[in-house]
Structure 1
Amino acid sequence: MTWIDIGRIDDIPVRGARLVKTHLGCIGLFRTADDEVFAAADTCPHKGGPLSEGIVHGQRVTCPLHNAVFDLNTGQGTDGYQIDTYPVRVENGRVLLDADALGKRSAA
């Protein structure tokens, strides 16, 4: 894996998200109340809602447009839809995202 430094964990609000723009689309970085960080596709596959503007609760995020809930570990949604998730880790307060996984992401 090739890890790229995205920024400080403190730049992501607790129980909130930040958006990372890549050449293949936007990735949401989600921070839980326990300071876990997850990376997933930002766009809800159902209505196109920006998941980074949704509500983070536990290890899940709720779409702001239609209230579908997505598991940030697996990407599985309660409505049968699925979002892509990406390896992410935190080291010394810095958020690192797997660049190799992003390179494999579909541009569609």
Structure 2
Amino acid sequence: MSWLDIGALEDIPLRGARIVKTTLGCVAVFRTSEAEVFATSDRCPHKGGPLSEGIVHGKSVTCPLHNWVFSLETGTAQGADEGQIDTFETKVEAGRILLDAARLTKQAAA
């Protein structure tokens, strides 16, 4: 895998998020209360809500527009809602957040 250094772990507050702009669109990078890091697409499939502005709880995020809840691990909508968001591999090394660049640098097919 090719890893992209996107910043220090401390740059994202506990239960917070930051956005990384990529060729695939914006990726939301989340930090849980347990200091785990997850990355997903930033757009809710329901109404396009910015997930990076949602509420992080456990290993989930709630969309700020209509309260859809997504697993940060799998991207699957939880509960009665149906939907899926993309997830991206992350890791933390020496206090730096690394994002798998392989999928992020590919251009979408025309």
Q: TM exceeds 0.5?
A: yes
Aligned length: 108
Alignment-mate amino acid for residue 62 of structure 1: T
Q: Aligned partners of 2:94, 2:42: CA distance in 1, in Å?
A: 25
**Is 1:41 matched up with 2:33?**
no
The residue matched to 1:52 in structure 2 has which SS?
Answer: helix
The alignment-based identity, stated in percent, is 65
Q: Distance in 2 between matches of 1:82 and 1:105?
A: 21
Q: Which runs of 5+ in 2 are unaligned?
A: none
Structure 1 residues 105 and 75 mapped into 2: Cα distance closer, same or farther (>3 Å)? farther
- How far off its partner does 1:28 sit? 0.2
Distance 1:107 1:67 in 2: 32
Q: Given the alignment of the two structures, is residue 55 of structure 1 paired with residue 55 of structure 2, yes or no? A: yes
Q: Is the 8 A contact 1:24 1:107 kept in 2?
A: no
Query: C-alpha root-mean-square deviation of aligned residues, in Å?
Result: 1.6
Q: Aligned pair 1:97/2:102, yes or no?
A: no
TM-score normalised according to structure 2 size? 0.93
Distance 1:27 1:81, change over 3 A: same
Matches within 5 A, 1:11-30: 11-30=11-30
Which stretches of structure 1, 4 residues or more, deviate above 6 A after TM superposition? none
Q: 1:81 aligns with which of 80, 83, 105?
A: 83
State the TM-score, normalizing by the size of structure 1: 0.94
Q: Which residue of structure 2 lines up, in the alignment, with residue 4 of structure 1? A: 4
The alpha-carbon deviation at position 107 of structure 1 amounts to 7.3
Greater helix share, structure number:
1
Where 2:103 maps in the other structure, the secondary structure is helix
